[in-house]
Amino acid sequence: MGYLFEHSIFYPFYVWSKGGVLADYGHPFIPSMLMDAGIFLLLAGIPYILILLAAKPKRIHKALAFAARLIEKKGMLCLILLFALSLLLRLVYLNDSLFHHDAVQLAYAVQNSVADGTLHGTVGGKQGFVLINVLLSLPLHYLFRIPLDATLNAISALFGAGAVITGYWFAREFLGDKKQAILAALLFSIAPVFFSISTYAQSHSMAVFFALLSGYFLLRGIKEEKRWQMAAFGITFGFSCFVRVTNLIYLIPFGFLYFFSDRIMEKHGTWKDKFSAKALIWFCLPLGAMLLLLAAVQWGIIFSQLGSNPSASGELVSDRLWYSFNYLLKSLTVPGLLIALGMLAMGILKGDRFRMMFYMLWIAPFFLYLGSTLYTAPRLMAPIIFPLMMLVAQGTTKISRRPLHAGMPLFIVILLIMILTIYPIVSFREHYSGPKVLAEFIRKNTESTAVILANDDGVLISYYGNRSTMGYPLYGGVSEVRQAIADLVFLLENNIPVYVNTKMMSYAGNDMLGRTLSDSFELEEKGYVYAEDYHQASMRLNLQKDVLYRIRLPQGFNKTQIKAVVYRG
């Protein structure tokens, strides 16, 4: 029952209600959140209205016919409105800060690139990601003085909205149906995982934008036999790998699409045309040049990002995949999943096997690889959301052609569930960003010379809290742990204040750092805030009571009596 409840339409209301816990601690935005939520709750009546309309199929048929004519005749207007709506929603619910560790690393990379004129990489390389952010930050931040964190978040929102449009272009060419393409793009715009990660500075929205754009060029090149479009595919796809190197996985579905395009779409060329010397040169040369450049710049990163995790047990992999599936399901919704699976089965049974194989070759490699890694997170599922939305759009339009015309009411219900799922999260973080709150709390409650014991949170504390940080080898061996303890003791003996927070002490399964500090040092509580662990936060509010402690040497301190706990796996 618990599993079904978590994936029902009622669960978002439960999640939203949990955000109200901060009302007890003087959070000033709870009343405005309640007011905004009231508007969304009014939308809950839509399914009941649709059920009443379903009793009169002619009305729905007329509405569908009108919508189809509007999309056919005013396609560009619909596209502009869709882009404007997608961008506006993301800007309205833009995160209050650089929410993620990687976002702060991006800010430093942009600042350093502008300062010395050299392109700096960020976590995982991502030189293309940094380059685009530098170019767009120059007018927005350095000319118009918009804060850098807001600028970088807005750039992510811009590419999130842009990916909706490139997704529409791809779906229009692939499906050959403007209505299905619009529906897929609309679902994609609101899909909870993708919406969430495009409200703060992350590379996922930009990576998906360029991947879908390259797929569009590939389809146009195959259909129209224009060589420049094949070259554009190679360049845009190669650049997408400079944004996120894991985009190399797109070579599997896109390669299949090129080889079997005559089986998937209407035949616009012959097998000989695609594999003539001229066609292969235009297809392979730009793509090969970009991939060689990628290998030259990011050779080590490619293997560290795409390399498998040999220490992961089968049980751990299955747990990770189940975890990833659950969060993917929250974004797709249960009705959406059933429609997508039904569409796959129908396509296979009715002879559209190559198109269905393309979907599976897109979804399965990303899910099996990114969903099974040790550090998987909901945001890593971003590349496979759009093909799922295309399947849902196809399924709902096919259902709408049946006598009951239930497809479009079902489509709107799915859209409503998506909105209610993501709204509590993005509306809360628009006002309250846990990592920033923690960093500012540390700045106000520590000395300017203080050192904060922090790992991943260190860059956020340095950026927003203006405090020096010191790492700790949570998974290190005996010698590394001893050296870290010696460094800590050195700071304390030289009267440099050192602090640590609850979240840092609770990292690693056996609470090794917390036990080391509590057994061998004195911890003085300095206060607390409600912070949030951003690691798995794309699809949930992960609020924690985070206590700040000052570390002190005990009376009669003896270095030989330190009990350092070492991680044992």
Model confidence pLDDT, tens digit, residues 231-290: 999 999 999 998 998 899 999 999 999 888 777 665 544 455 666 677 777 778 888 888
pLDDT over 50 at 48, yes or no: no
pLDDT for position 9: 46
pLDDT over 50 at 122, yes or no: yes
What string of DSSP letters covers 43-94?
GGGHHHHHHHHHT-HHHHHHHHHHHHHHHHHSHHHHHHHHHHHHHHHHHHT-
| Stretch 303-322: mean pLDDT | 62
Least confident window among 11-15, 71-75, 261-265, 540-544? 11-15
pLDDT for position 23: 33
pLDDT for position 324: 83
What is the overall mean pLDDT for the chain?
Answer: 78
Task: Give CA–CA dist 442/450, Å, rounded.
Answer: 10
SS3 498: strand
Residue bearing the bigger pLDDT, 75 or 68: 75
Q: What is the band of 404 on the pLDDT scale with cuts at 50, 70, 90?
A: low
pLDDT over 90 at 392, yes or no: yes
Task: Give CA–CA dist 234/256, Å, rounded.
Answer: 15
pLDDT for position 359: 94
| Stretch 92-118: mean pLDDT | 88
pLDDT for position 18: 46
| b/e per residue 515-542 (b: at least 16 CB within 10 A) | ebbeebbebeeeebbbbbbbeebbbbbe
List of residues 6+ apart from 260 with CB closer than 8 A? 354, 357, 358
pLDDT over 70 at 66, yes or no: no
**What do you get for the CA distance between the two ends of the chain, in Å?**
33
Residues facing residue 552 across a β-bridge: 522
Task: Give CA–CA dist 537/11, Å, rounded.
Answer: 17
pLDDT for position 546: 86
Q: What is the band of 45 on the pLDDT scale with cuts at 50, 70, 90?
A: very low
Least confident window among 114-118, 405-409, 505-509? 505-509
| Stretch 187-207: mean pLDDT | 92
Residues facing residue 528 across a β-bridge: 547
In terms of average pLDDT, the best of 107-111, 272-276, 297-301, 550-554 is 107-111
| Stretch 531-557: mean pLDDT | 78
pTM for the whole structure: 0.84
Model confidence pLDDT, tens digit, residues 31-41: 444 444 444 44
pLDDT for position 450: 92
Q: What is the band of 22 on the pLDDT scale with cuts at 50, 70, 90?
A: very low
How many C-beta atoms lie closer than 10 Å to residue 74's C-beta? Answer: 12
SS (HEC) of 150-208: HHHHHHHHHHHHHHHHHHHHHHHHHHCCHHHHHHHHHHHHHCHHHHHHCCCCCCHHHHH
Task: Give CA–CA dist 169/305, Å, rounded.
Answer: 29
pLDDT for position 43: 42
Task: Give CA–CA dist 154/141, Å, rounded.
Answer: 11
Cβ pair 150, 129 in contact under 8 A: no
pLDDT for position 157: 95
